[in-house]
Each structure stands twice: as C-alpha cells, then as structure tokens.
Structure 1
Amino acid sequence: MLAEIKGLNEECGVFAIWGHEKAAEMTYYGLHALQHRGQEGAGIVTSDGEALHLHKGNGLINEVFQQAEFSRLTGHAAVGHVRYATQGGGGYENVQPLVFRSQRNSMALAHNGNLVNAYALKSQLEAQGSILQTTSDTEVIAHLIKRNGYMDMDQAIASALSMVKGAYAITILTEDKLYVALDPRGLRPLSIGMLGGAYVVASETCAFDLIGASYIREVRPGELLMIDDTGITSKEFSSPMKRTLCSMEYVYFSRPDSDLDGLNVHASRKTMGKQLAMEAPVEADVVTGVPDSSISAAIGFSEATGIPYELGLIKNRYVGRTFIQPSQELREQGVKMKLSAVRGIVEGKRVVMVDDSIVRGTTSKRIVRLLKEAGATEVHVRIASPPIENPCYYGIDTSTKGELIASNHSIEEMCELIGADSLSFLTTEGLEDAIVKDKDSMEHGICQACFTGNYPTEIYPDTVLPAYKE
C-alpha cells in the first residue's frame, strides 16, 4: 500500500496466540501478514507461565527481529503488535506491546485504535499519583486496571474498559491468561481462530491464512474474552450497541484477502467500484487503479462500464520506505519512485483513474500529472469513497479539517486543483449499500464519521490530546 505517500495511515495491528509451543514464531509470521497496518515499530511479548519476555523496536518486523531473538522469547502464549504512530508520537517507549510489571502479576498490552478521553483520564490519573512512562494512550488502560487491584484480573479489566471511550481492539497477556476485548461499537476489526489446539487472535483474517489457522468468528462489540489452559470464556463488559465498523477498513486499510463482518474486502471494493460506475459514468478508453488498494474498485468499475481495465500505473515494490522523505519538496520525487505510468497503455487514451480516497489532494495531483506526462489525453478521477471532510478521532491520522482538501473546497475546485478533467466520489449511500449486509441489524453497520461528521461516540473536544485540536 502507498501509506507513505497517500498521507492516510491507520494506527496498528495486533496478533495474539495461546497454547502453541512456537508462540513467538507464529506471532512473528502473523505480524508479517499485518505489516501493512504499521511500519514504524513492532514487538512481541511471550509468557512461559512464570514470566513475560519482551522484544520490540523501531522499524519493520524483519528489521526488529533476528533469528537469535526467538531463543529468549520462550513460552506457549504471545501478543504482538505492528505500529503506525498517531497519538503519542514515535519513540521506543511507545512501541507496543507495553509491558507493566508488579509484585502480584505482570501484563503486556497491545492496542489498535484510539481513546478519545485519554487526555482527561491521564490528567485524572496523574492527580491521583500515577506516573506515566509513555505518551501513548494505551498506557491509560494499564493504570486503570491496576487502580482496581483489589478486584481479580477479570473484573479489573472489565472495569477499566468500561471507563475508556473510543476505538480499541486490545489484547492483554499475563503470566497465566490472555484477554481479548473490542470496544462497544466495534470500530476496529478483531477476529479469533484456531491453529490445532491453540487459540489465535488477529486484527485481520489474512494473518490466519498465513499461519494456517482456521477462522472461528469475530470478537463481538463490548465483549471480553478470557483464554487460558482450561479454554475460552466470554463476558460482556458493556451493553450491546449497534456496530459501527470503520468504513475505511473496507475502503483502504485492510488487505484484499481479509474478511470483515463476513464480507471479503476485495469483493466489497469491487462492489464499490460497480456502484461508483453507476453513480458517476464517464466516456473513456481505459480504466486503471492506483496500486494497491484501489485495484479492486477499478476492476469493479471496468466490469460495470465495459471499459477495459489495464495496468496504467505500476508500483515499484523495491523502493524502501526510507526514500519517502517528509519534506514537501521531496514527496513528488517519492511518488515518481513509487509509481510509474505505463506510456504504452495510456498514451493517446482517455483514462479513468480509480482511487480509494483523497485526503490532502497532493498525491492525486501528482498521479494525474504522471498520467498526462505519459500521454493520456484525458484523466477522469473516480474515488471509491465519499469526500473526507472531517477528522478521525479513532486512530487515523487526519486530525484537523484544515488538512483535508474536501473540507475546504468544492468538488469542482478539487478537480481543478488536482488537474483532472472530471472528478466524482462515491456517495455515502452507495458506500453503505456496498458494505452493509443488513442495515437494520445491530450486528452490521459502519462508521462514516470522516465523511458525514456523525461520530458514533461522544467526542471530547476540550480534553482530547492536543494533536487533535484545530
């Protein structure tokens, strides 16, 4: 995926396993399958029943782990994490899993999502004497759990989770148990599977496929799972609410071979493309998608219109992420190193360029220019999601309206700014039709807050972390 140049990043991916003699190795492979969800840091914590063993670091999973590390990561249980920093920023101390040691028991936390009341809770905890060691909102959960130390661990975790607000898919490993929980709205994906007699948990089902595990079901919103040597038990820590799974998981973040809420991501993206073709048809000679997350929607658009699909854009898979520099001046060169237009396909043609989203508009402008420099006579941009007009507070790094092009410009203005011959977006109704199986069901629903401004949870504008303030 082009996370580095598209300017849209999701916070992280989690993986956990219980009851496998090669727990660390299985977690390593599981994290490889989830690498697209975070490339800034990775870590694994194992439990041998008596102690927790940690190895983590900044970088990609194969950079952080060498073969020699696994001799120290002993045990039958593990939690792992790949990270993209949104709240809390970078730094080794914020790389997860976070480990907290105490006399009674230790615990390791791996978290995907964002707590919208973390700043208020941190202030509260500090006033009560807590000394926070990281700037990550995940640490808040650990302090809330230990503050309830008079309870048993099951009760303490359930009590802590009832106090935090926002999006979280979380795994907690102690010496003798694995805990798995999903926020009451189910904003983040989290599934459970089996590998022989071992239980496996992952942000996406593609991790199960890589290690040969079988899918059982998704973790339900507001559910806390407790896994130990006696098996698995479940309890609700929150009253049932209608699920609002992040729509951008379907649009962009998840791998095409993953299943979300019973729907294959590739199939859902094709349906989005077909819906987009019905809503915004155009006369053209060729359809191409921006690799990789937009290819499925481009195929759907092609099938619906009869316009041939071609590889008009090629991604260079051998350019390291270190080539993508943060300065505005160097990003354009970064796009050219990541993407190439195929002159033999687009020259002299009217091209439909299908992309999954437009965030700031700078990347779309550069790709349109690439196609026209390669000889395309017209470039019609079709976006397989609605305009992103509102910040996300649940773990995606769009923190203010000022950085969102659709929040400050009309579609006509955006079209002119990116240099396209026409520009159209999928409607919110079309996106919902493509994704939601049963709109009246409590179990099926999506969050479209970044498109509509209708947030599924209460937002605390005066107490969210400063990074989210206008």
Structure 2
Amino acid sequence: MMRKVPRRERHLHEECGVFGLFSPETADVASLAYYGLFALQHRGQESAGIAVNDDGVFSVWRGVGLAGEALPRQRLQSLGAGQIAVGHVRYATTGSDAALNAQPLMINHFKGRMALAHNGNLTNSMELRRMLEEQGSIFHTTTDSEVIAYLLVRERLRTPSIEAAVRSAMNDLEGAYSLVIASPTKLIAVRDPHGFRPLCMGRRPDGSVVFASESCALDAVGAVLERDIRPGEIVTVGRDGVHSDASHCDTVPRRLCVFEFIYFARPDSVIDGCSVTQARQQAGAFLAKEHPVEADVVVGVPDSGLDAALGYASASGIPYALGFTKNKYVGRTFLAPTQSLREDGVSFKLNPIRSVVKGKRVVLVDDSIVRGTTCRRMIDLLRRAGVREIHMRVSAPPFVSPCYYGTDIDSAEDLIATRHTVEEIARIIGVDSLGYLSLEHTGQLAGAGAEGFCTACFGGGYPTAVPSAGQKDRFSQKISRSASLAGQSP
C-alpha cells in the first residue's frame, strides 16, 4: 500500500517548480534540465521528472523523491539527446504524492504527443474534471494538471496549432497555472492572467531558450535572465524563433503570491524584476518600524528568516547574529521513525548556539506561524539554552484563510491565528512579545517592481471565485480514494 506521509509542520510548502529548454541544435538537454531541477529543488521534494523531445520522439522518466533520487544517472543517460526538454519537481497540494502523479505528464493524441509540467492550482478543477469525464476522458492521475492536459488535447483537435489550443483552453481555466509544454516541434510557456506563480525566460550563449519557475534555475544552466513571462502571456519557441501571444494579458489585475518573496523562492532569485533577498530584508525593516523592542541581539530562523532578521537588525540598530546551527544533512523530507521523535524533530534540524543567546534578550525573526506547534518547540529549545527574553517577529501577517492557488494552507481550522488573538498566540508559543508584519507593508515588499500581490491567505480577499468548503471536501475525499486505490496497484 502507499505509505502515508504526515503533513510537515515546519513551514508551508509550495506545489512545484517547472523548467523547459529549447535548443536550436541537438544537445544534451536532459542534463541541462537536471541541473535546472536541482536549482528548483526547494519548490518540491516529493517527485521529479524530465521529458526529452528529439525531433518528435519523446522519452520520459519520472520518479519519487529528490531529483538526484528520482533521476539516477543511468536513467538520465537513457533519455538521450534532443532539442526540447521539460522538467518538473513536485510538492503535492492537489492529488497524492504517489508516483503516478509525478510530472511531466505525457499525453498521446491524434495530432501527436505532448509533455506538460504545471505549477499552481486550479480553482475550478472539479467542475472541469466532471465535464471532461462526461465527454469521455479517462483520468489516470489525481492532479488538476491532467485536467489542463485534457483541455489542451480537446482544443488541439479543434484548432490549427498548439498555441491556438492553449489560447482557447485558457478561457476555461481558473486559478493558478504556470505551464511549460513540449509539442513535437515547439516549446511553450504559459502564465495565468493573474500571474499567481512566477515564470521567467532566459537565453544561453548557444542560443537555447530557457523557461523556469525562478531565475536561479537559469543561472544553474548558464542562461541569462531576459525577462519574466507576463501574466496571461503565451510564449512559443520553435525553429522560426520566439513568439508572444498577449491576448490574455491585462484582462485582470496582477496577483503574484506574496509568499514567493516571503518564503518560497530562493534568495538569489529575481521575480518580476525584484530581488527576493531585498524583499525579505525590507520585510524585516518594516517589522522593526512596526514592532520596536529593546533587545540585545537579532536572530533569524534558517533559512528564509535570516534575510528578514538582517533587515530588522539594520533598521533597529540591534546587533545581528547567527543564533541557530542547521543540520545540512537532514533533508526537508526527513521523517523520524516514531511519533515522540517526530514531535521533537525540530532539534534534529535546528539547534541554538548557546554562546550567542544565553542570558540575552533575543528578537527572533521567522517567516510565518502556521499551526504553532513547531514554533513552540523551537522556543522551548531557546529557553533551555538560557535565553533571557524572546521577542518574536514574523515577516508575514497572520494566516487566517485557506489558499486555493497552490500553497498547502488547506483548512482555516488548522491555522492558529483563526482561533486566537496575537496576545493569546504569544502565550501559547511561549514568547515575551509577538509582532506580525502588517498587511499594508506586506503589499510594499517588492517596491515598484510588483504591481499587485495575492494576500488572500492573510485576509486580503480572493482574486477569483473559489470552491465552497463542501466542494473542496468532496473533491479531496475523491482524490484520497483514488490515491489509495492507485497506491495498491502493482
């Protein structure tokens, strides 16, 4: 049977990362995609896959685990050379983490083959899935990515080209989707009209065009960032060059997920023209302005809390120090063998540096408090290390609403801020004071570079229609049953 993996509590997780490459000549595109996926590994650690297209002949390999585990060297070599590669790393928010849901998805249809990699979450996936099943589609996975693939196939049979099929299918898609698609002759990158998830384009010195969820993946393959894909844009790369379709652009307001800057993205990435590191330091500076305190040292929680802590220290004048050591040999998917060890698992990854924090008044900066349980254990570690006072500062507002766009904030009932005030949360997690970043300053993290953020999980309102609680529960139950049956298959 499929092993059920408990939900990790340390941080939120984002659904996945996508990568695509078009080479003007036959090349080892599989290896380049492999390097790109390693750079995007932080976006998903449950499965990885690469599809290679060599003059219309597709080869694909997908597996469970980190990229190095899912794509062993011998399998990578078996993909051979080609002109187009599509890669994917996945963290499951819709569908299970079973091997059958690994991407890229490979679809055979009357007009040829297609490989698709998707980052995001559709808000109308249940309705589309039902409609497609009524029309005869047979689903083999439990992901909404397959819904997108079948819509594209349906439209491809009605339209003269794959880019026309994408343009038509976008009329039915609602929610978050950044896509990289390989057809027999073309590579296509697509970003939903709101631009919920990032997607960028770069070029290598050999003329190859590269698409990736983050610019750090372009750096990993020697490509230079050229620009971000515009929300709603369809970019097609073929033998005749690069073409842009902007027919779905500027139809709705931009709503990039603000948590890309707060936590998801790598610090060395640039998203929509803004440095992730600078945005996090700005969050810390805003926190120092909103929630000043007398303290001896500012400490960040590795890794995404470090830049915000630097920003707080710089703006407040309180010295910054590394207060935790992180075990680099324990992966994000680490699972202790017993429940009691899992409850104390934070100490396997993080441990306070006593010489830095003992007897000190500490400003502890982290990116979020979700359920509060892991945060409480981290506070306990600091107390045992001899900290005098702990003043926690969070570089995001409180989570009060579920996310429907590809983040695993799946239930308001699990969020500590929906049931308790800030003062109550401070008592529960055991800190002397607690301050969150305001929603106003959250919208200013990227300065003038981003025209609008999605802050729905912070109570900022949903940019699209969302499933009702009953619809989401029924769909989740259906997915769970499908995943259980899939896990029992040989």
Q: Shorter-chain-normalised TM-score: which range?
A: over 0.9
State the match for 2:177 in structure 1.
168
Q: In the alignment, is the contact (CA less than 8 A) between 2:188 and 2:235 conserved in 1?
A: yes
1:465 Cα deviation after fit: 6.2
Whether the 8 Å CA contact 1:162–1:237 is kept in 2: the answer is no
Structure 2 counterpart of 1:68, from 74, 77, 80: 74
Corresponding residue to 1:6 among 10, 13, 31: 10
Letter in 1 for 2:235: L
User: Deviation per CA, 1:26-69, whole angstroms, max 9, x where unpaired?
Assistant: 10000000000000000000100121110110000001122222
2:41 to 20, 30, 35: 35
Q: Which moved more, 1:458-467 or 1:26-35?
A: 458-467
Aligned to 1:317: 328
In structure 1, the residue matched to 2:441 is 430
1:199 to 209, 232, 235: 209
Task: State the partner residue of 1:102.
Answer: 109
> 1:241-287 CA distances to partner (integer Å, 9 max, x unpaired)?
22111000000000000011111000110011001000000111111
TM-score (norm 2): 0.91
Aligned mates of 1:428, 1:147 — CA distance in 2: 42
TM-score (norm. length: structure 1) = 0.95
Give the match's secondary structure for 1:412: helix
Q: Which residue of 2 aligns with 1:294?
A: 305
Q: Which moved further from structure 2: 458-467 or 87-96?
A: 458-467
Cα RMSD (Å) of the superposition? 1.7
Contact 1:42–1:80 (CA<8 Å) still a contact in 2?
Answer: yes
- The separation in 2 between residues aligned to 1:156 and 1:227, in whole angstroms, is 15
Q: How does 1:50-61 map to 2 (within 5 A)?
A: 50-61=56-67
CA-CA distance at 1:432 after TM superposition: 1.5
Could you list the structure 1 runs, at least 4 aligned residues long, displaced by more than 3 angstroms after superposition: 320-323, 325-330, 462-469
- Pairing of 1:307-386 with structure 2 (within 5 A): 307-321=318-332, 323-325=334-336, 329-386=340-397
Where do residues 141-220 of structure 1 align in structure 2 (5 Å cutoff)? 141-148=148-155, 149-152=157-160, 153-196=162-205, 197-220=207-230
* Counterpart residue type for residue 159 of structure 2: M
Deviations 1:218-258 (A, max 9, x none): 00011111111111101134251221110000000000000
Does structure 2 conserve the Cα–Cα contact (< 8 Å) formed by 1:105 and 1:175? Answer: yes
Counterpart residue type for residue 32 of structure 2: M
What are the superposed Cα offsets for residues 348-393 of structure 1, whole Å, 9 maximum, x if unpaired? Answer: 1111100011111111111111111100011110001111111100
Partner SS for 1:255: coil
Cα distance change of structure 1 residues 265 and 140 upon mapping to structure 2, 3 Å threshold: same
CA–CA distance in structure 2, aligned partners of residues 364 and 403 of structure 1: 14
Distance in 2 of aligned mates of 1:293 and 1:112 = 21
2-structure distance, mates of 1:332, 1:96: 32
Shift of 1:96: 0.5
Give the conservation status (yes or no) of the 8 Å contact 1:277–1:304.
Answer: yes
Instruction: For residue 367 of structure 1, give the secondary structure of its aligned residue in structure 2.
Output: helix
Q: Distance in 1 between matches of 2:153 and 2:334?
A: 43
Question: Which secondary structure state, in structure 2, belongs to the residue aligned with residue 71 of structure 1?
Answer: helix
Measure, in 1, the Cα distance between the counterparts of 2:143 and 2:305.
32
8 Å contact 2:35–2:221 — kept in the other structure?
yes
1:32 partner letter: F
Contact 1:119 1:465 in 2 (8 A): no
Contact 2:126 2:475 survives alignment (8 Å): no
CA distance in 2, matches of 1:332, 1:345: 25
State the AA in 2 paired with 1:304. Answer: A
Q: Secondary structure at the match of 1:215?
A: strand
Select 1:235's aligned residue among 239, 245, 249: 245
SS across alignment from 2:351? strand
Partner of 1:45: 51
Query: Structure 1 vs Structure 2: percent identity of aligned residues?
Result: 46
Gaps of 5+ in 2: 1-6, 478-490
The amino acid that maps onto 2:79 is: L
Contact 1:141–1:161, Cα closer than 8 Å, also in 2: no
Identify which range, 427-436 or 221-230, moves more after superposition.
427-436
Counterpart selection for 2:418 from 407, 416, 429: 407
Unpaired segments of 5 or more residues in structure 1?
none
Match of 2:145 among 138, 148, 151: 138
Distance 1:453 1:391 in 2: 12
Contact 1:114 / 1:167 at 8 angstroms: preserved in 2? yes
Change (3 A) 1:384 1:468: farther
CA apart distance, 1:444: 1.3
Deviating more after overlay: 185-194 vs 238-247 = 238-247
- Check whether the contact 2:230–2:249 (CA below 8 A) recurs between aligned residues: no
Distance 1:291 1:281 in 2: 22
Query: Do the aligned residues in 2 keep the contact of 1:184 with 1:239 (CA within 8 Å)?
Result: yes
Quote the residue 2:84 is aligned against.
77
Q: 1:72, CA displacement in angstroms?
A: 2.2
Displacement, 1:327? 7.1
Structure 2 CA distance for aligned equivalents of residues 450 and 96 of structure 1: 27
CA distance in 2, matches of 1:327, 1:444: 47
The equivalent of 1:117 in structure 2 is 124
Give the direction of change, closer, same or farther, for the CA distance of 1:421–1:326 in structure 2 (3 Å limit).
farther
Q: Does 1:22 align with 2:35?
A: no
Shift of 1:156: 1.5
Query: Does structure 2 conserve the Cα–Cα contact (< 8 Å) formed by 1:5 and 1:331?
Result: no
Task: Decide whether aligned partners of structure 1 residues 237 and 57 sit closer, same or farther in structure 2, where only a CA change above 3 A counts.
Answer: farther
**What secondary structure, in the 3-state scheme, does the structure 2 residue paired with 1:79 have?**
strand
Contact 1:159 1:237 in 2 (8 A): no
